Amino acid sequence: MDPVPALDESLKKVLGPATAKVMAEHLGLHTVGDLLHHYPRRYEERGQLTHLADLPMDEHVTVVAQVADARLHTFASSRAPRGKGQRLEVTITDGSGRLQLVFFGAGVHKPHKELLPGTRAMFAGKVSVFNRRLQLAHPAYELLRGDAEETVETWAGALIPIYPATAKLESWKIGKALQTVLPSAQEAADPLPGPLREGRGLVTLPEALLKIHRPHTKADIEEARARLKWDEAFVLQVALARRRHADAQLPAVPRRPRPDGILAAFDGRLPFTLTEGQRKVSEEIFADLATDHPMHRLLQGEVGSGKTMVALRAMLAVVDAGGQAAMLAPTEVLAQQHHRSVIEMMGDLAQGGMLGGADDATKVVLLTGSMGAAARRQALLDLATGEAGIVIGTHALIEDKVQFHDLGLVVVDEQHRFGVEQRDALRGKGKQPPHLLVMTATPIPRTVAMTVFGDLETSVLDQLPAGRSPIASHVVPAADKPHFLARAWERVREEVEKGHQAYVVCPRIGDEEDGAKAKKKSPEDEAEKRPPLAVLDTAEQLARGPLAGLRVDVLHGRMPPDDKDAVMRRFAAGEVDVLVATTVIEVGVNVPNATAMVIMDADRFGVSQLHQLRGRVGRGSAPGLCLLVTEMPEASPARQRLNAVASTLDGFELSRIDLEQRREGDVLGQAQSGTRSSLRMLAVIDDEEVIAEAREEAARIVASDPDLERLPALRTALDALLDEEREQYLEKG
């Protein structure tokens, strides 16, 4: 008998170099263990057929269906001028719909012999449209034949696993490769501690792997899934629990505000009272800052809930205690905005060392990559001497030249825009690890916070400050009802006539070449595939057309920083009526007089991005208006997404919808680390209970055995999860 390949054995040895190469390049599978954890996406029963009516366009699909008819046509073409060209058209059916398969040229002979009416087979290919009908061109196929010893019932009832596949490697070929490595599943070391597994009635890992790939019944699939979900949730939560445990061992300087210091002076001048939420969250932060190990806190809040105020009070508390605070912003526009608003909020408390500065004042400096040499030198000097208690900057803060006198707190704005190395570099600038406050304006469902930010304590601001106005949102279907779009521009004019201002947001700048390169599309592709609307074109059309006579200006990411800042200053001063911009205005931009926003091609933006953008209006006492313009047809998923955004202002609700519509994989930040998601079975939104229970179990185990000395199989599973890149990703604290 052949020896069973080990789980860490290369697929090259087991399956041969050609198959292994495709698996590595297209599916990220390198070892026997990787392949065993490549789970089926779904299962087909031979006796039941796929819903052909629900096939997604432009995606690689595998379907199980029956041949209804097959016809061979001959035709003349440049290659076969005498009418010798051959085309085989096969219609397959599943009861819910029909699908056309086409084969050309020499490729017709084999299917013409094999795909006879009544034959059942699996077909794989990319769904396209031809003459307004769905079709698969040259699909790969595998006939489904019952072996002689199988009865019709067992043959028809067998569950066929359908794997995530690629054009280069069909689902059934992956299935055959799995058949080869499945015996190795017996070698899989079980990461779940025995008592935990037995207490929850879960099957062993080898049994789960066998049942997920070769189920006899639907109950087998359920048992396997329940077990594999637990593995994913538990191993990830152990990794996060170990991070929290390690962070709790680090030393930090406790930072307590003085009763008569700069924070007390600042609070005494506030022209409004803090919301209950702001007070509660501030207390949580102050309690963390007073401890002798570093704070790691995530502050998430609705758009406009006053996170900047909470962060500023935390920074002032640290300045009171003799330390410095750094705020890291993702863009120059945002860093400049924050700098301006902090100085405005602090008044003469921000004029440390200057004439007219208050007694307790400190200096608030800005540091960005595009500053002039003299201003930059002065800012660096103020940081090194401790003259500046607060610095606000972009990635420029991380450079080697930047030295702090005593860095006590790092505030990271908009977490998802920063890489791990950047945060680590900033943390490394403190004499001891500084405290860390991460702010995100994209509300995160509790389950995701537990999964992605599980090493951070979470504070939530869900109350809007007094004086904020509600925002009305409407979808404008420009293709079905062009007069709605005309009305949208009238509404913008009306707002400007009342003395207010408006934003128009476009997905693209317009100085790229992509418009020129757009190929000719069929009419049904036109709405889907035309280049997104651009700032420069839209601004020109509006200024000449529906908004003629208004002061229209543009803002986008490729403008020189001074020009961007100048435009924002003019807009804030009310010298611009309508600002046509890209998403550079998405976060932090605060112009209370702006009351209307029109988002062009709104279907090209994600749900949370639309919610963010919308939060730029309604920031004063006048009500806000947000119009989502789209050409997508009513029944499309894109329109449903926009309807969801228009129907609620609850960011937490929207983030749930967003997550359900996106692939789970996005959750763990592969966008940051470039690795595939480790979540193959766990659905972060649906499996809330599993995640919460796994978090508790993980905390218990790590508290009693931080190095997992008594659980070697769990350590091995952790090492596999935390390859170098994922380890770094988790070090986002």
* pLDDT tens digit sequence for 120-151: 888 888 788 777 778 888 888 888 776 544 44
Strand ranges (E), 172-240? none
Strand partners, 42: 162
The confidence band for 661, taking pLDDT boundaries of 50, 70 and 90, is: low
> pLDDT tens across 443-477, in order?
777 777 777 677 778 888 877 666 677 789 999 99
| Encoded amino acid at 366, one letter | L
Measured CA to CA, the distance from residue 94 to residue 256 in angstroms comes to 70
DSSP assignment letter at 31: B
| Encoded amino acid at 448, one letter | V
Which element (helix H / strand E) includes 120?
A: strand 120-130
Of 568-577, 646-655, 705-714, which gets the smallest average pLDDT? 646-655
Measured CA to CA, the distance from residue 636 to residue 193 in angstroms comes to 47
pLDDT over 70, % of the chain:
83
Of 37-41, 52-56, 545-549, 579-583, which gets the smallest average pLDDT? 52-56
Mean pLDDT, the chain, integer: 82
> pLDDT tens across 522-575, in order?
333 444 457 778 888 899 999 999 999 999 999 988 888 788 888 988 998 999
372 CB-near residues (< 8 Å, 6+ apart): none
Q: Which long-range contacts (CB under 8 A, 24 or more apart) does 70-74 make?
A: 70/111, 70/112, 70/115, 70/116, 70/117, 72/108, 72/112
Residue pair 531/513 in contact by the 8 Å Cβ criterion: no
Measured CA to CA, the distance from residue 598 to residue 233 in angstroms comes to 41
> pLDDT tens across 244-268, in order?
888 888 888 999 998 889 999 999 9
**φ, ψ for residue 74, nearest 5 deg:** -110, 150
Residue pair 36/154 in contact by the 8 Å Cβ criterion: no
Could you give the 3-state DSSP secondary structure of residue 324?
A: strand
Predicted local distance difference test score (pLDDT) of residue 286: 96
Measured CA to CA, the distance from residue 290 to residue 253 in angstroms comes to 8
> pLDDT tens across 607-640, in order?
878 888 888 888 878 889 999 999 888 777 788 8
| Structure-token match 């022209």, residue found | 271
| Structure-token match 């029909």, residue found | 98
Predicted local distance difference test score (pLDDT) of residue 701: 93
Residue pair 443/655 in contact by the 8 Å Cβ criterion: yes
Helix 688-704 × helix 218-249 angle, to 10°: 50
What pTM, to 2 d.p., does this model score? 0.68
> pLDDT tens across 388-442, in order?
999 999 888 888 788 999 999 999 886 555 555 666 677 778 788 899 898 887 7
Give the torsion sign (CA, 73, 77, 79, 84).
positive
| Encoded amino acid at 198, one letter | E
Q: Average of pLDDT values for 204-209?
A: 93
- The strand pair at 578-581 and 552-555 is best described as parallel
**φ, ψ for residue 398, nearest 5 deg:** -90, -15
DSSP assignment letter at 519: P
Could you give the 3-state DSSP secondary structure of residue 436?
A: strand
DSSP assignment letter at 356: T
User: Is the per-residue pLDDT at 672 higher than 60?
Assistant: no
Residues 273, 330, 578: CA angle, nearest 5 degrees = 75
Give the torsion sign (CA, 310, 311, 317, 319).
negative
The confidence band for 232, taking pLDDT boundaries of 50, 70 and 90, is: confident
Could you give the 3-state DSSP secondary structure of residue 12?
A: helix
* SS3 sequence of 572-591: HCCCCCEEEECHHHCCCCCC
Measured CA to CA, the distance from residue 255 to residue 702 in angstroms comes to 28
Measured CA to CA, the distance from residue 367 to residue 683 in angstroms comes to 41
| Encoded amino acid at 228, one letter | L
The token pair that represents 15 in the structure block: 């399956």
Strand partners, 82: none
Measured CA to CA, the distance from residue 622 to residue 634 in angstroms comes to 31
Of 288-302, 323-337, 412-426, 648-662, which gets the smallest average pLDDT? 412-426
668 CB-near residues (< 8 Å, 6+ apart): 451, 452, 677, 678, 679, 729
User: Is the per-residue pLDDT at 724 higher than 50?
Assistant: no
